[in-house]
Structure 1
Amino acid sequence: MKLLAIETATEACSCALLIDGHSTERYALAPREHNRLILPMVQSLLEEAGLALEQLDALAFGRGPGAFTGLRIAAGVVQGLAFGADLPVVPVSTLAALAQQALDETAAPQVFACLDARMDEVYWGVYGRGGEGTAQLLGQELVAPAGAVPLPGEGWGVGLGSGWSRYGALLADRLGNRLTAVLQDRFPRAAAVARLGAEGFRLGRAVAAEQAVPVYLRDQVARQPRAE
């Protein structure tokens, strides 16, 4: 299995190449630099592995939720690469990729993944540990006020993501004793997108290039207001 993944939904920009379960990654915390960085990252990883894009089995990308500009960059880049090399694409939840990092780093049975959505709201998803140790969504991903996020199921877990930096007190109060720790300074990474993308590919979740589109959750913000 050879899969290339990109993730540009937050301040972090990254690209990962997964080959038979082993991944290499390029990562930079560089707000507003994603458009300049992502293609050189792709080229660097392929050259290092001695592969042409056409030799891959699939592509994956962080499909959101996240920053609107970052999501459009990811979708546009992966569509262009997929069209050029005739490759399928696996869309991967940005929140799931974030949660995967916590599952890999800790023994927590649940992860409370949270990204700052601005406008006093957060992008929110609760994930459990699937059979292969991969992030499994409990409930649904949504955008909501930090003090009113839903808590599907029971059990304890850890939190991570930019939403915790801004709304940590509200979220902690909402979760109570279900929250045992918060992992600081974590952003979604392409290595996690690649891992989840490979699983999605095996499960038949790949789509054609033109179907590789962002998931905003708050679609009305992405639309331009109409003139009266």
Structure 2
Amino acid sequence: MTRILAIDTSSAWCSVALSLPDAAPLVRHQKVSAGASQLLLPWVEALLSEASIELSALDAIAIGNGPGAFTGVRLGVAAVQGLAIATRLPVLPVASLDAIASQLVLTPAFISSGAQSFVIAVDARMEEVYWASYKILANQLPQRQGEIHLTPPEALELSNIDFLAGSALLEFGDRLFTNTSHPLASTHLDSAIGVNALGVLACAEEMWGKGLQQDVHLLEPLYIRNKVALTTAERIQQHG
């Protein structure tokens, strides 16, 4: 089993996990307001100390590189860049929606639903949603179908989808079902699940097995949205 440190600060949570041979991962996961920068590195140090392992002895460092909160994504990426450069470790960048998908399929509600296809939809602010479609594969993590989208909530494509999960459900509700005549039952919805380092770790381990680790100098945030603010005129036009 590989030894991978996984970090995610792309949401309102600061999350760190460490995988070890023949043992359950060590985890720190806590909701924060603006304190992730103060918790992140001390948590990394604490997990390494608990495992009695040096950072340089790891195989790789995984990072949830977005999309997500602009400042949080930058914080996590910058921290991993510093750690990986100092130790010459490769990195494994994991999209936040992929990490959520990897955890969703382990939940009792999803398993009992028998779903074979699903959408992860995350509130992207500015009246938009990050979303992507996934298929269940045997003995593998769910496979994303195409790119991660950034659209108004009404533009989600839910045709032939069995399950919907993510924070966009709480923010936009029925607006997400505009394009479908068959809204999903409440047993096929999960509004509470979010990104955490265990999901990042699960994706990273699969990536490592496929040889997809990369040099830290290639690491970049995954923003999806290039423009993070509207002008006054654009806001007025958008809202009439």
TM-score w.r.t. structure 1 length?
A: 0.90
| Structure 1 ranges of 4+ moved more than 6 A | none
Q: Which of 157, 167, 170 is 1:162 aligned to?
A: 167
Which aligned pairs between 1:1-228 and structure 2 lie closer than 5 A?
A: 1-20=2-21, 22-105=24-107, 106-107=110-111, 108-151=115-158, 154-157=160-163, 159-177=164-182, 179-180=184-185, 181-221=188-228
- Separation (CA, whole Å) in 2 of partners of 1:79 and 1:57: 15
Change (3 A) 1:101 1:175: farther
- Separation (CA, whole Å) in 1 of partners of 2:206 and 2:21: 12
Shift of 1:150: 3.0
8 Å Cα contact 1:156-1:177 kept in structure 2: no
Letter of the 1:156 partner, please give it.
Answer: D
Shift of 1:129: 1.9
- Separation (CA, whole Å) in 2 of partners of 1:28 and 1:175: 36
Shift of 1:185: 2.3
Change (3 A) 1:176 1:75: farther
8 Å Cα contact 1:122-1:163 kept in structure 2: yes
RMSD: 1.8
Partner of 1:226: none
Change (3 A) 1:62 1:176: farther
- Separation (CA, whole Å) in 1 of partners of 2:168 and 2:6: 24
- Separation (CA, whole Å) in 1 of partners of 2:93 and 2:138: 20
Identity, % of aligned positions: 34
- Separation (CA, whole Å) in 1 of partners of 2:35 and 2:152: 29
Residue 134 of structure 1 aligns to a residue whose secondary structure is: coil
Shift of 1:121: 0.5
Shift of 1:216: 0.4
- Separation (CA, whole Å) in 1 of partners of 2:182 and 2:47: 43
- Separation (CA, whole Å) in 2 of partners of 1:178 and 1:156: 10
Shift of 1:135: 2.4
Partner of 2:234: none
- Separation (CA, whole Å) in 2 of partners of 1:187 and 1:27: 11
Q: Between Structure 1 and Structure 2, which shows a larger proportion of strand residues? A: 1
Change (3 A) 1:54 1:145: same
Residue 228 of structure 2 aligns to a residue whose secondary structure is: helix
Larger Cα Rg: Structure 1 or Structure 2?
Answer: 2
Letter of the 1:138 partner, please give it.
Answer: Q
8 Å Cα contact 1:103-1:133 kept in structure 2: no
8 Å Cα contact 2:137-2:143 kept in structure 1: yes
Partner of 2:238: none
Residue 130 of structure 2 aligns to a residue whose secondary structure is: strand
- Separation (CA, whole Å) in 2 of partners of 1:203 and 1:49: 26
Change (3 A) 1:162 1:209: same
| Structure 2: unaligned runs, 5 residues or longer | 230-240
- Separation (CA, whole Å) in 2 of partners of 1:161 and 1:2: 29
